[in-house]
Amino acid sequence: MENRIQKMIKDSDKIVWIILNAVKHTKIGKHKLAEFLKGSKAKDIAHLSSQQGYGGLLWYDIETIAGFIEQLEQMGVIARIKPAIDEYYSVLELTEAGKKVLDEKIKIELQIIKKEKPLIVGATEKTTFDLFKTGKTIEEISKERDLARSTIYDHLCRLVANNYLSSSEFVPENIIKQILEAKSKLPNTAKLKEIKEILPEEITYNEIRCVLADKTKKVHSKTEDEKKIIEESLK
């Protein structure tokens, strides 16, 4: 596991330099840049295929590449500008900080951010919510609604993700602490199964899902810290 983490960090530097170099040699927006770096054969990208960086991130999907570009924009190493010929279309260019990162090969860490589909709260989740708020336990709601406990937990997970509830309202504090400690020992990309494997057997997948749905809302991006580091290097 350790070797894989180190490789991800090392590759992150190369990804940053590939993106910044592509920004330097092209005058295109975020989505076109992502397609360019992917090596897209689309008509509006094909004419750029001779430019430096084309297909440089071939092994990543478009969404992941766009996520990398967004992180660099948030860090202030690239910025959007509007060409005089078209005030409605913005393109990306290097900032002074970005030029310094590229020229001096300053290391920046990127994260692969997977955008998950939103957990929607519908009528059935609201029914579970109403019963829960009357003081009924998960077991009691399961019996009253004639639904599996796992289904009720699924409702609760959606309710937590959408700020109707907190996991602390139905998961004991000591279990929440153990889940968060286990999560902190693993990389951000760790799967649910990996977290479960290092927890006591009595802690369920349902409890893990609900706690993570709650705590994910409170996770802050590292990009502000990265931005401060870059700004300090420019002084």
Burial of 125 (0-12, 13-18, 19+ CB in 10 A): buried
CA atoms within 13 A on the CB side of 137: 4
Q: Which residues 6+ apart lie within 8 Å of 212 measured at CB?
A: 179, 183, 192, 195
Residue 185, phi then psi, degrees to nearest 5: -85, -10
What pLDDT does 5 receive?
34
Cβ neighbours for 136, distance < 8 A, ≥ 6 positions apart: 144
Question: Looking at residue 224, what is its pLDDT?
Answer: 54
CB-based contacts of 77: which residues, under 8 Å, 6+ apart?
Answer: 16, 20, 94, 95, 97, 98, 101, 108, 230
Instruction: Spell out the domains of the chain, with CATH numbers in brackets.
Output: 2-114 (1.10.10.10), 123-216 (1.10.10)
Say whether pTM exceeds 0.75: no
Is residue 94 classed as helix, strand or coil in its secondary structure? strand
pLDDT in tens, the chain (235 residues): 333 333 343 577 789 999 999 999 998 989 899 999 999 888 888 888 888 889 999 988 888 898 899 999 999 999 988 765 544 568 899 999 999 999 998 888 887 766 555 667 889 999 999 999 999 999 999 999 999 999 999 999 999 988 889 999 999 999 999 999 998 888 877 788 999 999 999 999 999 999 998 876 544 344 455 555 555 555 5
Cβ neighbours, 10 Å, residue 227:
16
Q: What's the pLDDT at 214?
A: 83
